[in-house]
Amino acid sequence: MLHLFRSVALPATLAFSAMLLAGNAHSAEEVPHDPCPALLQEDIGKLRSSDTIRLCDEFAGYPLLVVNTASRCGFTGQFESLEQVHQRFKERGLKVIGVPSNDFRQEASTDEETARVCFVNYGVTFTMTERQQVTGEGAHNLFRHLNRDSGQPPRWNFHKYVVDREGKVTASFDSRIEPDSRAIIEAIEAVL
């Protein structure tokens, strides 16, 4: 009799387990996972190119350092240390994105001049976008999210945001903080 009980109980237990697993699989299907965070859900033009950067394709799942730049600013020399940070951490997955903006009236009047400052004068190899608004209602989607999530919209050029692999802003630094400062390096290392 005991033998019969075991053979009957075992299939019932397996059937119950199968129902639980099927229920879990079904609920996972009902909640689709979007691998692209909201701040990357709008394309952006590439500096001095007809190419468009599909932010989700290029940057989703990577730690980011995003900076609003200007080629005629007293902080323009930070391009040099931004490039050094890019070179130091690119093998570990960090992506650096420079976004030129004339919000503070210090960007060159042409893309050609902006590109010359970035690529020729400072040897930038990280991603540079075309000019964008980074503050206010007209800000590009990337900066609308950075500004909202950090609570610190740029008050000047070369404001820096560190973003983790899930698209969450983990740190924000004003213009006076050098890209290779200890505080920024520590924030970057925390998201790698």
Q: Write the pLDDT tens digit of every residue in 123-182.
A: 999 999 999 999 999 999 999 999 999 999 999 999 999 999 999 999 999 999 999 999
List the domain boundaries for the chain: 1-33, 38-191
pLDDT at 35: 86
**How much is the average pLDDT of 2-29?**
44
Which residues lie closer than 8 Å to 24 by C-beta, 6 or more apart? Answer: none
Tokens of 70: 């200007």
Tokens of 21: 């697993």
Choice between 124 and 28, residue whose per-residue pLDDT is larger: 124
Annotated catalytic sites, by residue?
73
d(CA 111, CA 40): 23
pLDDT at 34: 61
Q: How many CB atoms lie within 10 A of CB 189?
A: 13
Say which CATH superfamily domain 38-191 falls into. Answer: Glutaredoxin (3.40.30.10)
pLDDT at 20: 44
pLDDT at 126: 98
Residues 86, 78 contacting (CB under 8 angstroms):
no
Tokens of 68: 């609003």
Residue 25 has pLDDT above 70, yes or no: no
Q: How many CB atoms lie within 10 A of CB 17?
A: 10
Q: Write the pLDDT tens digit of every residue in 52-94.
A: 999 999 999 999 999 999 999 999 999 999 999 999 999 999 9
pLDDT tier at 29 (50, 70, 90 boundaries)? very low
Chain centroid to Cα 55, Å, comes to: 8
Q: Could you identify the residue written with the tokens 């709008």? A: 42
